[in-house]
């Protein structure tokens, strides 16, 4: 079923316009007028131009671009990918196939074979669409579909039963057999054999995929194939699954005659750099935007970059009191997702407050932001703990000592370990450009103040919420 087209972003001129203007979602192609390059400039690594140029140069040299975009949650990776894919030169040169680890795979159980199967399904669909766009016939779509069914139906009993009952019909590539296979990856009860346990099955699947890639290239010879794997960096996906897919079967990615760009977690990339199927000069970090420097004072460049972003979305003077805006930026820690989430929450509080007290200010004031920040602080505390059955066995005692060491600037914290890995995934720790500096999120700084309030050896240096 096609996704519903979301309404366009409209710049907010009052608090009623906040929910639409500050949706905590990646910018789509239609919304790119709200993109600002101030964030890219503050990161100081020419990210977008570097990825684009390396991709085009690889294609020109008949090489295959195998790359990773990695960074913490909420810092704009998906928007940067969308921005790359609407580039005129990229659109003229590449057929883009997008794979989503959260929405198209089961994030708790997928393996290498699942990724390959989804890839070939999506490739058939995308090639069919591309041929239709250019007015070409792609008669092989139905043949490729049937070949895929023969290859996979023994492993999907439900699919095989449907075929025997005559429940599958020809015609639309996306709506029939392929849509059922896609659904199989998201279904808890769908029974399928784990191909990754059978090397021969995986090799057969790889050969099958390479043949289909060849057919696509015959029909669309002027295009290269670019696979974009998104959301493989999300918390729902365990390091074990990433290791099995990108390390154990790294040779599979190297063998495929297509281009790749995946998103992966920062600690995973750092710890597995030499084992991943990507060239070391194709690992592209997307850094956090600092709101405080290493001395725990305001980072003027970071605040300016974030303010430029917000000015694109709203009339700041009309919607935010000055002290409210300052606290919003600081409490977000530069996390764009969190910033937008708190803006929407504070906007609702401002609206309801004004409705109850019409004489009060019809803007977001500091109290509204304080309430939103306090709620986020509660959520933050809950994420720091460990519960029975949790894959993270790092105790809060270990995490809080690591947080304190980072906050106090201990040299030893520059080398990642399990505690830092978990804190990065939870956004309690941020990673900035320059000398590779780690920093403690302002919400986590507040937790340190609570934890060590009676410890005379702990000195608060700033960069918290200061409520």
- Does any domain span residue 402? yes
**3-7, 92-96, 214-218, 364-368: segment of lowest average pLDDT:** 3-7
* Domain boundary residue, one of 285, 316, 333: 285
**Mean pLDDT score, 275-283:** 91
- Does any domain span residue 181? yes
Is 257 in the same domain as 367?
Answer: no
- Does any domain span residue 102? yes
Is 229 in the same domain as 332?
Answer: no
Give Cα separations from 97 to 42, 82, 102 (angstroms): 30, 12, 16
CA-closest candidate to residue 346, choices 312, 382, 370: 370
Do residues 261 and 283 lie in contact, with contact meaning Cβ atoms separated by under 8 Å?
no
Q: Which of 27-31, 140-144, 331-335 has the highest mean pLDDT?
A: 331-335
Is 151 in the same domain as 277?
Answer: yes
Is 100 in the same domain as 205?
Answer: yes
More confident residue, 234 or 150: 234
**How far is C-alpha 174 from the geometric centre of its chain's CA atoms?**
25
Kindly report, residue by residue over 410-426, the tens digit of the pLDDT: 988 888 888 988 898 88
**Mean pLDDT score, 353-363:** 95
pLDDT at 167 over 70: no
Packed helices 177-186 and 140-152: angle between N→C axes, nearest 10 degrees: 40
Give 132's pLDDT tier (boundaries 50, 70, 90): confident
pLDDT at 19 over 80: yes
Is 118 in the same domain as 247?
Answer: yes
- As given in the structure block, the two tokens for residue 47 are 């990210």
Is 262 in the same domain as 406?
Answer: no
d(CA 134, CA 89): 17
CATH number of residue 194's parent domain: 3.40.50
d(CA 263, CA 75): 12
Give 162's pLDDT tier (boundaries 50, 70, 90): very low
- Three-state secondary-structure class, residue 46: coil
Do residues 345 and 388 lie in contact, with contact meaning Cβ atoms separated by under 8 Å?
no
- Does any domain span residue 21? no
- Does any domain span residue 7? no
Give 184's pLDDT tier (boundaries 50, 70, 90): very low
- Three-state secondary-structure class, residue 92: helix
Is 59 in the same domain as 198?
Answer: yes
Q: DSSP assignment of 239-257, as one string? A: HHHHHIIIIITHHHHHHSS
Containing domain of residue 133, as a range?
A: 46-285
d(CA 27, CA 16): 21
Is 312 in the same domain as 258?
Answer: no
- Three-state secondary-structure class, residue 111: coil
- Does any domain span residue 182? yes
Is 214 in the same domain as 317?
Answer: no
Number of domains within the chain? 2
- Does any domain span residue 291? no
Is 209 in the same domain as 333?
Answer: no
- Does any domain span residue 404? yes
DSSP-assigned beta bridge partners for residue 320: 364
Give 146's pLDDT tier (boundaries 50, 70, 90): low
d(CA 27, CA 329): 20
CA dihedral over 368, 369, 374, 375, signed as positive or negative:
positive
Is 321 in the same domain as 205?
Answer: no
Q: What is the pTM of this model?
A: 0.85
d(CA 108, CA 238): 7
Is 223 in the same domain as 372?
Answer: no
d(CA 76, CA 286): 8
């Amino acid at each position: 079923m096609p996704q519903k087209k979301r309404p366009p972003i409209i710049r907010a001129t009052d608090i009623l316009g906040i929910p639409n203007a500050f949706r905590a979602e990646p910018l789509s192609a239609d919304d790119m007028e709200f993109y600002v390059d101030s964030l890219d400039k503050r990161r100081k690594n020419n990210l977008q131009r570097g990825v684009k140029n390396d991709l085009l140069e690889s294609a020109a040299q008949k090489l295959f671009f195998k790359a990773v975009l990695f960074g913490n949650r909420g810092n704009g990776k998906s928007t940067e990918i969308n921005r790359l894919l609407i580039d005129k030169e990229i659109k003229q040169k590449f057929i883009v196939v997008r794979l989503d680890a959260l929405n198209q795979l089961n994030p708790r159980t997928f393996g290498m074979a699942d990724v390959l199967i989804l890839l070939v399904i999506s490739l058939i669909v995308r090639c069919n669409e591309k041929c239709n766009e250019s007015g070409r016939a792609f008669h092989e779509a139905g043949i490729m579909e049937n070949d895929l069914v023969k290859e996979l139906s023994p492993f999907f009993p439900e699919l095989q039963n449907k075929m025997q009952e005559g429940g599958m019909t020809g015609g639309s590539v996306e709506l029939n057999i392929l849509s059922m296979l896609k659904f199989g990856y998201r279904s808890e009860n769908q029974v399928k054999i784990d191909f990754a346990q059978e090397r021969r099955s995986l090799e057969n699947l790889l050969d099958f995929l390479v043949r289909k890639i060849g057919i696509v290239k015959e029909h669309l010879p002027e295009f290269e194939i670019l696979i974009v794997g998104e959301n493989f960096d999300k918390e729902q996906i365990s390091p074990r699954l990433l290791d099995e897919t990108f390390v154990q079967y790294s040779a599979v990615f190297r063998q495929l005659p297509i281009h790749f760009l995946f998103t992966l977690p920062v600690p995973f990339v750092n710890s597995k750099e030499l084992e991943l199927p990507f060239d070391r000069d194709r690992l592209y970090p997307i850094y956090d935007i600092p709101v405080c420097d290493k001395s725990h004072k305001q980072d003027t460049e970071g605040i300016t970059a974030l303010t430029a972003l917000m000015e694109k979305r709203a009339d700041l003077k009309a919607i935010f009191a000055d002290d409210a805006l300052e606290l919003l930026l600081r409490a977000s820690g530069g996390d764009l997702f969190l910033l937008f989430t708190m803006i929407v929450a504070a906007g609702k509080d401002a609206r309801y407050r004004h409705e109850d007290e019409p004489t009060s200010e019809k803007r977001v004031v500091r109290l509204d932001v304080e309430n939103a920040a306090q709620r986020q602080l509660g959520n933050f505390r809950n994420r720091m703990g460990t519960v029975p059955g949790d894959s993270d066995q790092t105790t809060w005692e270990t995490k809080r000592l690591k947080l304190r060491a980072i906050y106090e600037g201990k040299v030893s914290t520059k080398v990642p370990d399990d505690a830092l890995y978990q804190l990065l995934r939870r956004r309690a720790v941020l990673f900035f450009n320059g000398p590779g500096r780690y920093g403690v999120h302002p919400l986590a700084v507040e937790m340190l103040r609570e934890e060590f309030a009676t410890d005379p050896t702990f000195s608060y240096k700033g960069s918290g919420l200061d409520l």
